[in-house]
Amino acid sequence: GKEMMLDEIVHVRFGDENSKLVVLTGIQINMPRPFEDMFQPLSFTMLSKNRNKPSKKSDKLNSNTTREDLFREAFGHPAPVFS
């Protein structure tokens, strides 16, 4: 699903061991006038390097990457679930 697609395109091979990557995904809803456009956030995640394991030469997320879900903290409720 969505996380598998993100795993294919994001990595944390930059900066130093303290660098983090924050990823916000969602749906942009463009509305006709006089309505305002809207953004529906679907996920809010912070990726960081694990310091315990050696880094692999791969662009894909692997066991060297920690994923922290920030959605509830940022928006006050769990991320929406769509099936």
Assign 3-class secondary structure to 1-33: CHHHHHHHHCCCCCCCCCCEEEEEEEEEECCCC
What pLDDT does residue 39 have?
95
Enter the pTM of the model. Answer: 0.70
Low-confidence stretches of the chain (pLDDT < 70) are 1-4, 51-63, 83
